[in-house]
Structure 1
Amino acid sequence: MFMRISLTLAVLVAITAQAFAETTAADVEGFLIEGKLAEGKAAMQARVEEKPKDAEAQYAVGIFSVLIAAENLSQNLYRYGLRPDAPRAPFVRMPVPKNPDPEELTYEKWRAVLQQFIDDLAVAEAELAKVDDPEVKLKLPVGMVRMDLNGDGKAEDGETFWKVFTSVAWRAAKLDEDQKRFEIGFDKADVHWMIGYTHLLRAMAEAYLAYDTSEFFTNTASIFFSGVESPLAQLRTARQNDFMDQIADAVLTIHLMKFELVEPDRMEVSRQHLLTMISQSRLVWEYCTQETDDDREWIPNAKQTSLTPLTVNEERIAGWAQFLNEAEEVLEGKKLIPHWRVNDGRGINLRSVFTEPTQFDLIGWAHGVSALPYLEEGEVVSQETGRTLSRTFQGRFLVFAVWFQ
């Protein structure tokens, strides 16, 4: 009798736990499909307070936080009139609609936009880092997630996360009706994948904010935003967006990439973000390669089915691990980066570029003169490493890097 009662109780506990996990996923899905990100985050935070060991609910809090960071950035870009046909540059690749009445964007406001993005991503990382259950699983219909991209209080059919993702990271095809849900089973490996991306994006933003880019902003921001008063307005003609206009703007952009250092500490912060990204990527594959299921995997191991057209195999997993090791050694100054004009065995100490930053001059770096203070003797990353990675990933290493990271 006692054994039957114990067995019954165990079954009831297991069924209750499973039902609770499924309810969590269902609750999250409703908020995502309706684009109610803040409300969804609040609801899941309340659930975590009630049941602190609910890993799925905590995972949902982290996912909502990531989406809110992207939504806030998008709304800021819309507020200042990001042009739909603007060049595809970091932080301004969000697919926001055209704003017919944008607010004026100043250099100070632009820096504030990037700082808010950094702060929002820090919140997302902190929430994701609380997910400590190695068996966590949250299936969500990524293709149906909606966001309020223009800040009008409504998340409409055209304002989807899939549209954002394919604009900034992945040239994926439009989902048809059968693929519309594009359900992903987010697991522990994906926790570290998301955390890694928060560090990558913060590294880029911190490095940018380390420099005074005010002159660059004054002369080029109108290429990207309609809410900017710029000297370039005097040069616009009825042939705006003509090929020659675009070439002239590109030349000016390169010419003005000469920035004075104003907040040097941000460069070391950027380097630390990149190192943390590497450690998080290692954790992605530590968990991923241990998985034995095959359940809507975003980052699959060699035995799992990929949701993308790209194929993962043991050779590519090993190749990525090799790249992470090389990247870490470069960021730590243990290996040097070659420059095309230096063939005497010396290379660039990238660690010193971050820890002892000076003026940034793009043309100077391309020429070589800006690299001179950072040249050292030591082990230089060989060209064979690049060739090996190219062969391993069949010439698509950058595409895999965007996915793997």
Structure 2
Amino acid sequence: MRFLFSILLSILPCMASADASPLIGESGLAGATADLDAIADPSADDRMALGGILFLRAVERAYQLRWRYGLTENLDLPLLAGELAPNPTPEPISPTMIADLFSAVIDDMAAAEDVLATIPPDADPSFELALPDLWFDVNMNGTRDADESFVDTALPALIGRWRLQVLETRAQQNPDAPSPLRATVRFDRADVYWLRAYVQAVSGISETILAFDPTDELARVIALRESIAEQVQRSGKKRRHGLVFGAEDAFYIDAIAVLTETMRHRPDASRLGRARDHFLTMIAHNRIFWQELAKETDNDREWIPLPTQASALGIVVPENVDIAWLAVLSDGEKLLKGELLIPHWRFANGHGINLAAFLDDPGPLPLVQAIQGEAFIPYAAQGELISSANWRSFTRLVQGQAGLYALMLN
């Protein structure tokens, strides 16, 4: 859920050119992409808008893939969260679904980065996005139907339905209060780097998932379900209860089976190498974002505000959060470079897992052997271990909402 929250809000800064917001509302993300891409001499605003829309299209494509296969309930997984309108005639699920999804995401992120990288360093892009204009063409009919708006699809998964109800009540009581139900966000120069950081983060996560590739395991689950469906057809009824699990638990058991078996693969080292590069680039862009943000003197419907600015969404960003968050990112950078080690309960004092060594020459990570420690022995090293001090400081600063703020700040 929170992952999707970060993704969706990472898209916002790029979609808001002077004309991009109503264009999305009228023509959808696909139509807006085509119109902006057709501009012969795009401005910096146009480029940022197009880059953001390409980012959002990744979310829309994920929704469309889910709808196509009838996976319309909230799956609470990366790019798969949110409840969608049901598909009356879904296709049989394909074992390549996850691989297809994240391969498309990588392509979309590369396209977004190609556009955002063309914004001149000295440019000062500025544009607006009205969140009520944002919708996803879930059923791929080219029309904005009921239950396809941002508020109907993504927002409940991001913040929970009960929080959404609270927001709706507050919006009725105080129509002038900032709210994601009706906010218009103005994005500017600093947000270009924030968005580029998010492009890199999503690309890195996608490459990591594809490095392990669950296609074979999904094929086995599909075969199991087909076999059980034949049993039901022969007997005329489905088994409803077991000694421990009921039929409704099958999805979660299957998901655990896919995950644990997938971790037995030897990952694709080239994909993990690209993932590391994406994460390091993400950190570099994030640092530039905070540098650019510190230079701002305006206060106009801000996405991530300075202490002297107001948030368009009504979100309070504590003072010094930049220092605390950059310290967390610095820890992550040192892990990726092997300068800090990951502790393991089984290892001796002063010894840990060298993540850089694993990324250079990755091996299988069977769950039991990973917990036991055997799977990590090839990557064991002596050195400085990462501590939780910076993360704890960040958590205290944001009053226990570290997950939400981490995804928002990227």
Q: Which runs of 5+ in 1 are unaligned?
A: 1-23, 223-227
1:311 corresponds to which of 290, 310, 316: 316
Mark the CA change 1:306 to 1:79 in structure 2 (over 3 Å): closer, same or farther.
same
1:90 corresponds to which of 78, 93, 96: 78
Q: Which amino acid aligns with 2:109?
A: L
Mark the CA change 1:163 to 1:275 in structure 2 (over 3 Å): closer, same or farther.
farther
Task: Classify the secondary structure of the residue corresponding to 1:36.
Answer: helix
| 1:197 is the counterpart of 2:198 | yes
Matches of residues 139-288 of structure 1 in structure 2 within 5 Å? 139-166=128-155, 169-171=158-160, 173=164, 174=167, 176=171, 178=175, 179=179, 180-220=181-221, 230-231=226-227, 233=229, 237-238=239-240, 244-245=246-247, 250-251=252-253, 253-256=255-258, 257-259=260-262, 260-261=265-266, 263-288=268-293
Residue in 1 that maps onto 2:95: 107
Task: Classify the secondary structure of the residue corresponding to 1:139.
Answer: strand
Q: How many Å apart are 1:389 and its aligned residue?
A: 2.8
Mark the CA change 1:155 to 1:35 in structure 2 (over 3 Å): closer, same or farther.
farther
CA distance in 2, matches of 1:57, 1:212: 36
TM-score, length-normalised on structure 1? 0.82
Please say if residues 84 and 147 of structure 2, whose CA atoms lie closer than 8 Å, have aligned partners that are also in contact.
no
CA distance in 2, matches of 1:230, 1:199: 38
Please say if residues 282 and 321 of structure 1, whose CA atoms lie closer than 8 Å, have aligned partners that are also in contact.
yes
Task: Deviation per CA, 1:88-146: give whole Å up to 9, x if none.
Answer: 12232143322121122222344223211211121112112222354211011023312
Q: How many Å apart are 1:198 and its aligned residue?
A: 1.9
2:38 corresponds to which of 46, 50, 57: 46
Please say if residues 254 and 362 of structure 1, whose CA atoms lie closer than 8 Å, have aligned partners that are also in contact.
no
Q: Which amino acid aligns with 1:59?
A: M
Mark the CA change 1:313 to 1:104 in structure 2 (over 3 Å): closer, same or farther.
same
Task: Classify the secondary structure of the residue corresponding to 1:261.
Answer: coil
Mark the CA change 1:232 to 1:344 in structure 2 (over 3 Å): closer, same or farther.
farther
| 1:126 is the counterpart of 2:126 | no
Task: Deviation per CA, 1:277-317: give whole Å up to 9, x if none.
Answer: 11121122111121111111111122211234542233221
Q: Which runs of 5+ in 2 are unaligned?
A: 1-15, 233-237
Q: How many Å apart are 1:337 and its aligned residue?
A: 1.1
1:296 corresponds to which of 301, 304, 311: 301
Flag the structure with more relative contact order, 1 or 2, with Cα contacts below 8 A and sequence separation at least 6: 2
Q: How many Å apart are 1:367 and its aligned residue?
A: 3.0
Mark the CA change 1:130 to 1:181 in structure 2 (over 3 Å): closer, same or farther.
farther
Q: Which amino acid aligns with 1:100?
A: P
Residue in 2 that maps onto 1:69: 58
Task: Classify the secondary structure of the residue corresponding to 1:126.
Answer: helix
| 1:136 is the counterpart of 2:125 | yes
CA distance in 2, matches of 1:199, 1:245: 39
Q: Which amino acid aligns with 2:126?
A: K
Q: Which amino acid aligns with 1:258?
A: E
The CA RMSD measured in Å over matched residues stands at 2.8
CA distance in 2, matches of 1:64, 1:250: 33
Residue in 2 that maps onto 1:379: 384
| 1:392 is the counterpart of 2:380 | no
Residue in 2 that maps onto 1:29: 21
Please say if residues 278 and 324 of structure 1, whose CA atoms lie closer than 8 Å, have aligned partners that are also in contact.
yes
Mark the CA change 1:237 to 1:156 in structure 2 (over 3 Å): closer, same or farther.
same
Q: Which amino acid aligns with 2:19?
A: D
Please say if residues 144 and 181 of structure 1, whose CA atoms lie closer than 8 Å, have aligned partners that are also in contact.
no
Mark the CA change 1:364 to 1:134 in structure 2 (over 3 Å): closer, same or farther.
farther
Task: Deviation per CA, 1:28-50: give whole Å up to 9, x if none.
Answer: 22211124323322322333x24
Q: Which amino acid aligns with 1:31?
A: L
Task: Classify the secondary structure of the residue corresponding to 2:186.
Answer: strand
Matches of residues 324-363 of structure 1 in structure 2 within 5 Å? 324-363=329-368
Mark the CA change 1:113 to 1:376 in structure 2 (over 3 Å): closer, same or farther.
same
TM-score, length-normalised on structure 2? 0.81
| Higher deviation after alignment, 281-290 or 124-133 | 124-133
Task: Classify the secondary structure of the residue corresponding to 2:38.
Answer: helix
Please say if residues 96 and 150 of structure 1, whose CA atoms lie closer than 8 Å, have aligned partners that are also in contact.
no
Residue in 2 that maps onto 1:3: none
Q: How many Å apart are 1:243 and its aligned residue?
A: 7.0
Q: Which amino acid aligns with 1:45?
A: D
Mark the CA change 1:389 to 1:110 in structure 2 (over 3 Å): closer, same or farther.
closer
CA distance in 1, matches of 2:95, 2:315: 40
CA distance in 2, matches of 1:341, 1:366: 9
Q: How many Å apart are 1:213 and its aligned residue?
A: 2.0
Q: Which amino acid aligns with 2:256?
A: I
Task: Deviation per CA, 1:38-83: give whole Å up to 9, x if none.
Answer: 3322322333x24x4x211222211221222222222112111114
Mark the CA change 1:246 to 1:339 in structure 2 (over 3 Å): closer, same or farther.
farther
Task: Deviation per CA, 1:305-333: give whole Å up to 9, x if none.
Answer: 12345422332211001111111111111
| Higher deviation after alignment, 106-115 or 350-359 | 106-115
Residue in 1 that maps onto 2:13: none
Q: How many Å apart are 1:272 and its aligned residue?
A: 1.1
